[in-house]
Amino acid sequence: MSSATGADVAGRAARLAADMRERGVDVLLVATHVNVRYLTGFTGTNGLTLIVAEKFDSRPPHRFFTDFRYAAQSAAQVPDEFDRKIAAGDLLEAAVRALSSFGNAAGRRLGFDDASVTVKQHARLAELLGAEWELVPCAGAVEQLRAVKDAGEIDRIRGAAELADEALQGVLEAGVVHRTERDVAIELELRMRRLGAEAPSFPSIVAAGAHGALPHAEPRAREIHRDALLTIDWGALHEGYCSDCTRTYATGERISARAREIYELVRSAQEQALAAVKAGPSGRELDRVARELIEQAGHGEHFGHGLGHGVGLEVHEGPRLSRLAGEEPLQVGNVVTVEPGVYLPGRLGVRIEDLVAITEDGQEILSRLGKELTVVS
């Protein structure tokens, strides 16, 4: 269980309620696990919350539902701004029953997450609620709050990043050449667990030589040879928060001039884009910084993914840094990756990724491993 407590989540539901008032939504139904956790601190797997825009009776403003297995856990984790209910059956039905006591019947609007609720669930919800309630799509409302981290969240992400760095250093010291990609990935994940991670934050990528040309390469039961590039993309889940980092190494001095040239190109694109991360520019502008350099070197078509993404309770969350990102400026509290890559199909790939928090003073880089091309054995 995580150390998340009511103190950590204090104020989040109130901020969301203010947002709902602005949207003219009376109650927001939140059912995805990670969003329930963010708002309530509840780490169990079966929880649901109703965020109420205007307190309507003498009870705590918001509602939280779980089942009997989580009675003690939810009492310990979910703060008093939530009226906690242990539901005997389906949580959604219990939530709808609670809604029947809400305010007066005229024009009630229930926000729901149209990005996660299926068409089938939507139909059932509409049927349970009846004609009095209008269902209002509110996808992204919680995610928007989650994109701006508080100091406690950044502490946890920093902790996850430190732990992941230490695990990789241990793996590199033990040696990677002549082992299989799979074996290295397993050891890396095991070391993260031993250092206190709950899990890897995503399945580790360990990709040598031409396999590194696949941005999402799965580790194979194939030996890592000498004198190749080796890309490792890994992260830890620690106290509920993720880290994400990539390094590309050389497994010998005798890598090709082409490999060195691509490495230096990606490194300079990564460093320039990373230096530009601060409150103000949009994710699209930051993507442009790295992409222009890579395009000028003639490799635009070999950089097929976005520059980066937000990291928090989930390893991929807002804000996006890509050509498709919006024009909204990045803000203090965003934690994002900067990870350009160049992939030459059938030949090699290089990706370098750092995790960076945007602060009042500028930025704090959370990844600590060096980026000079390093030979590992």
Instruction: Show the site string, 318-347: x = touches Zn ion by CB under 5 A, - = not.
Output: -------------------x----------
At its nearest, how many Å lie between Zn ion and the CB of residue 287? 13
At its nearest, how many Å lie between Zn ion and the CB of residue 345? 20
Using the minimum distance from each CB to Zn ion, give the nearer residue, 113 or 354: 354
At its nearest, how many Å lie between Zn ion and the CB of residue 81? 34
Using the minimum distance from each CB to Zn ion, give the nearer residue, 148 or 338: 338
Using the minimum distance from each CB to Zn ion, give the nearer residue, 49 or 243: 243
At its nearest, how many Å lie between Zn ion and the CB of residue 246? 5
Query: Do 102 and 59 contact (CB within 8 A), yes or no?
Result: no
* Residue in 41, 81, 12 with CA at minimum distance from that of residue 239: 41
At its nearest, how many Å lie between Zn ion and the CB of residue 164? 10
Using the minimum distance from each CB to Zn ion, give the nearer residue, 8 or 353: 353
Which range binds Zn ion by CB under 5 A, 78-86, 125-133, 242-250, 265-273?
Answer: 242-250
Burial environment of residue 120 by CB neighbours within 10 A (0 to 12, 13 to 18, 19 or more)? exposed
One-character DSSP codes across 274-321: HHT-SSSSBHHHHHHHHHHHHHHTT-GGG--S-SEEE-SSSSSEEEEE
Which residues lie closer than 8 Å to 21 by C-beta, 6 or more apart? 53, 54
Distance CA 338, CA 321 (A): 8
* Residue in 228, 232, 241 with CA at minimum distance from that of residue 196: 241
Which range binds Zn ion by CB under 5 A, 23-31, 109-117, 227-235, 294-302?
Answer: 227-235
At its nearest, how many Å lie between Zn ion and the CB of residue 205? 7
> Which of 187, 233, 314, 354 touches Zn ion (CB under 5 A)?
233
> Which of 181, 244, 287, 354 touches Zn ion (CB under 5 A)?
244
For residue 59, what are the CA distances in angstroms to 30, 51, 103? Answer: 19, 13, 13
CB atoms within 10 A of CB 122: 14
Helix (H, G, I), strand (E, B) or coil at 29: strand
At its nearest, how many Å lie between Zn ion and the CB of residue 109? 37
Q: Is 165 in the site for Zn ion (CB under 5 A)?
A: no
At its nearest, how many Å lie between Zn ion and the CB of residue 231? 10
- # chain residues binding Zn ion, by CB under 5 A: 5
Distance CA 62, CA 309 (A): 31
Using the minimum distance from each CB to Zn ion, give the nearer residue, 12 or 247: 247
Using the minimum distance from each CB to Zn ion, give the nearer residue, 16 or 294: 294
Query: Do 197 and 188 contact (CB within 8 A), yes or no?
Result: no
* Residue in 264, 243, 361 with CA at minimum distance from that of residue 309: 243
Using the minimum distance from each CB to Zn ion, give the nearer residue, 233 or 317: 233
Query: Do 286 and 276 contact (CB within 8 A), yes or no?
Result: yes
Which range binds Zn ion by CB under 5 A, 10-18, 121-129, 152-160, 238-246?
Answer: 238-246
Which range binds Zn ion by CB under 5 A, 93-101, 156-164, 244-252, 269-277?
Answer: 244-252
Q: Is 201 in the site for Zn ion (CB under 5 A)?
A: no
Q: In the 8-state DSSP scheme, what is residue 329?
A: B
Using the minimum distance from each CB to Zn ion, give the nearer residue, 233 or 314: 233
Residues 245-264 that bind Zn ion (CB under 5 A): 246
Omega of the bond prior to 319 within 30 degrees of 0, cis?
yes
Which residues lie closer than 8 Å to 358 by C-beta, 6 or more apart? 277, 278, 279, 330, 331, 332, 333, 334, 335, 336
At its nearest, how many Å lie between Zn ion and the CB of residue 293? 19
Distance CA 356, CA 334 (A): 8
Using the minimum distance from each CB to Zn ion, give the nearer residue, 53 or 185: 185
Kindly list the residues in this chain that would bind Zn ion in the complex (CB under 5 A). 233, 244, 246, 337, 353
